[in-house]
A and B are shown apart, each in its own frame.
Chain A
Amino acid sequence: MNNRVSRVSMFVTPTNPRFIDKAWTRGGDAYILDIEDSIAPAEKQRCRTLIRESIDKANKGGASIYVRINKPFVDADLPYAVWRGVDRIMLPKTETAEEMQHAHQIITALEKERGIPPGSIELYPMIETTLGAVNIHQILTAVDRKIWSMGGGGGYDMAVNLGIEMFADFDQYAYPIAYITLASMALDIESTGGVFIPNTSGRVDQSDQAILQAAALHRAGIHHSGALHPAFIEPLVKGLTPTTEEIEWAKAVIQKFDEISSVGESIGTLEGKIVDIYEYQKAKVTLDWALECAEKDCFKENALKRASS
C-alpha cells in the first residue's frame, strides 16, 4: 500500500507532455502537478482540465500526487484539483487562517460530491511570506484536517517579500524557518524545514548539490525534501533512507536499553557510547522510518513493474 513517505517531491507541469508523460520513470516519491508558477496565465485553464488525467500518468511508478493551486484562483482551481488519487493540495503563499478555512470548505464539499473519504486530502499551507510566517500557529490550527508535515519559510517568494537575494552564502531564512519549525513541532506536525547549504550559483540541477543536501537533511533528522530537477531525485531518495549500518546500530541500542531497563537501571554504554532513554527513542524513530521507507520502495517497485510490462 502507498504511504506518506515523501523523501522527495518534484514539480511537474501537466501542460508539457515531455515532463508529465515521463515523470513516473524518474523514481520520485511524490509529484506535484502544478497549476501555479510554472504555468503561464494563458495556459491556466488548459492546465486545469489536464489535472485529472495527469494523476494516473504521474503515479504509475507508485508516487503520491500533490496539486499546487493558485492563491488568487482557489475557487476556480479546486474543482479541477480535488480527485481520488490526490494526496495533498498545496496552497501557495498562505497568510491567514481564513484562507485555510475557505479552501477547506471547498475541498470538503468536493470530497463528498466525488466519493472521496472526507478529510483524506491533506491541505498543505505553503509559507512563502513574512505574514504567513508570523501567523503560522493560527494557520496550522485553522481547520479540522490533518496536516502531516510542515516546512517553508524560505524560497524565492520569501526572498522577494523580504527584499533580499535568494542565493547567499549565509542562512538568510534562519529565523522564519526556525519559527515555522517550532510551531509545527509544538503541534506534533512533522517538521520538514530545510537545512541551509550554501548555494551561490543559483543552479538547481546539479546532483552533487543534491547529495550534499540529502546528507545534511539526513544528519539533521529531516525526512523530506523538494526538487525542481529530476537529477535531484535519486540522491535524495537514497540519502534520506536509513543505511544498513544505521538500522543495525538502532537495533543494538534498543536491545541494550531493554537489557538495562529490565534490571531497573537507566543508563548504559554500547561501544563507548551512552545508551539511555533518548538514544532508545532515537533508535525507534530510525527503525520506524526505515520500515516506512521500505514499504514505500516496495510499493514503487511493484507499481513500476506493472507499468513497464
Chain B
Amino acid sequence: MKKILHHRRSWMIVPAHDPKLADTIAQYKPDVVVLDLEYSVAPKYKEQARANLVKTVSTIATDDIEIFVRIDKASRWADVDAAMHRGLTGIIFCGVDEESEITEIDALINTKEKERGIDPGHIELVIILESAKGFWNLSEILQASPRLSAVGVGRIDLTMQLGPVPQHEFRLFRYLMTRTLVAGKMHGKQLLGAMWRPDSRGGVANQESTKLAAQQAKLMGYTGCICATPEQVNPMNLGFLS
C-alpha cells in the first residue's frame, strides 16, 4: 500500500531512455514521475526507451514515488505493452480525440494486467487534451473508462496554434481550461494544467512564470500539472500548495 503524503501537484517528465533519470528524480523530488516515451524521446531512442521500462519501473517505484508512463499516441499499443509492469501506477495518454480511443486502450490495459499479474483495475489512465476534437468530445471521453483518474489541458497553444490575444492570454485558453474544469469536476477527475501565458511557452517557461501559472490554475480548481522540465517541479509544488 502506497503512503501518499501529498497531492499529485508536479508530474515531472523524464525521457525513459535517460541514463541519469534516477539522479534527476532524486534531485528534484516530484510528486509524480512520468517516464516519457513521447515528445522528449527522439525517434532514434524510442526502442531503447521502451526496453528500459521493465527495469526502470520496478527500481524507481518506492513507497513515496508514483510512476506513470506517458505513451506516444502514434505507437500507443507498443508503448502500453512496454510500460505495463508491477510498480507502475498509471498511463498518460496525450492527444485523445474520441471515446473509442479510450475504450481500446482500456481493453489493452485489462489484458496486460492479467498477463503480468497486476491487480485488475490497478493501472490508472490519465488523459491530456491537445486537440479541438478532444475538447469537443470531452464529456464522452471522460466516461469511457473507470480507470480514468485525471484530465489535463496540454500543449493546446502549440498543437491548435492558438496565438496570443490582447488580453495577454492564448486565444481560447481560458475557455478550454473552464470547459475542462466543468466536465472534469462533473465526473470527479483530478484536473491538471496551468494558466500559461503567451510569454511563457509551456515547455520553456521560467520558474517565476511557472509558479504564477500554477497559482492561477489552482484558483480555478486545478490541482497539478505536467512539468516539461525538472526545473518546473519546485515552482509547480509551490504554486499548487494547499
* A interface list, Cβ under 8 A from B: 137, 171, 174-175, 178-179, 181-183, 185-186, 195-197, 216, 219-222, 263-267, 274, 276, 278, 281-282, 285
Q: Contacts A186-B136, A221-B161, A264-B43 known; A196 to B175 CB distance under 8 Å?
A: no
Nearest CB of B to A270, in Å? 13
- Asked whether, in the complex, the Cβ of B158 is within 8 Å of the Cβ of A278, the reply is yes
User: Cβ of A197: which chain B residues have Cβ within 8 Å of it?
Assistant: 166
Interface contacts beyond A178-B175, A221-B161: sample of 18 additional A-B pairs, CB < 8 Å, sorted by A: A178-B172, A181-B172, A182-B132, A182-B179, A186-B136, A195-B165, A216-B166, A219-B163, A219-B164, A220-B163, A220-B171, A222-B171, A266-B41, A274-B203, A276-B39, A278-B158, A282-B158, A285-B161
User: Total number of A-B contacts with CB less than 8 angstroms?
Assistant: 73
**Scoring B residues 141 to 162 as 1 if CB is less than 8 Å from chain A, else 0, what string do you get?**
0000000000000010011111
Nearest residue (CB) in A for B203 is A274
B133 at the interface (CB under 8 A from A): yes
The 9 closest A-B pairs by CB, nearest first: A264-B44, A185-B132, A178-B175, A186-B136, A278-B158, A221-B163, A220-B163, A266-B42, A186-B132
Q: From residue 164 to 191 of chain B, which have CB atoms closer than 8 A to chain A?
A: 164-167, 171-172, 174-176, 179
- Asked whether, in the complex, the Cβ of A182 is within 8 Å of the Cβ of B136, the reply is yes
Nearest CB of B to A246, in Å? 12
Nearest residue (CB) in A for B161 is A221
Q: List 7 A-B contacts (CB under 8 A).
A: A182-B179, A185-B132, A195-B165, A221-B171, A266-B39, A267-B42, A285-B161
Cα distance A252–B132 when bound, in Å? 28
B219 at the interface (CB under 8 A from A): no
Q: Contacts A264-B42, A267-B42, A278-B158 known; A182 to B176 CB distance under 8 Å?
A: yes
Cα distance A206–B174 when bound, in Å? 30
Cα distance A181–B160 when bound, in Å? 11
User: Cβ of B40: which chain A residues have Cβ within 8 Å of it?
Assistant: 267
User: Cβ of B155: which chain A residues have Cβ within 8 Å of it?
Assistant: 278
B201 at the interface (CB under 8 A from A): yes
- Asked whether, in the complex, the Cβ of B175 is within 8 Å of the Cβ of A195, the reply is no
Nearest CB of A to B16, in Å? 14
Size class of the B contact interface (CB-based, 8 Å): 20 to 34
- Asked whether, in the complex, the Cβ of A183 is within 8 Å of the Cβ of B136, the reply is yes
User: Cβ of B160: which chain A residues have Cβ within 8 Å of it?
Assistant: 185
Nearest residue (CB) in B for A215 is B166
B4 at the interface (CB under 8 A from A): no
Cα distance A219–B176 when bound, in Å? 19
Nearest CB of B to A58, in Å? 32
User: Cβ of A276: which chain B residues have Cβ within 8 Å of it?
Assistant: 39
Nearest residue (CB) in A for B46 is A264
B222 at the interface (CB under 8 A from A): no
- Asked whether, in the complex, the Cβ of B175 is within 8 Å of the Cβ of A174, the reply is yes
- Asked whether, in the complex, the Cβ of B43 is within 8 Å of the Cβ of A175, the reply is no
- Asked whether, in the complex, the Cβ of A174 is within 8 Å of the Cβ of B174, the reply is yes
Cα distance A221–B204 when bound, in Å? 21
Nearest CB of B to A199, in Å? 12
Nearest residue (CB) in A for B172 is A178
Cα distance A196–B172 when bound, in Å? 11
- Asked whether, in the complex, the Cβ of B39 is within 8 Å of the Cβ of A221, the reply is no
- Asked whether, in the complex, the Cβ of B135 is within 8 Å of the Cβ of A186, the reply is yes
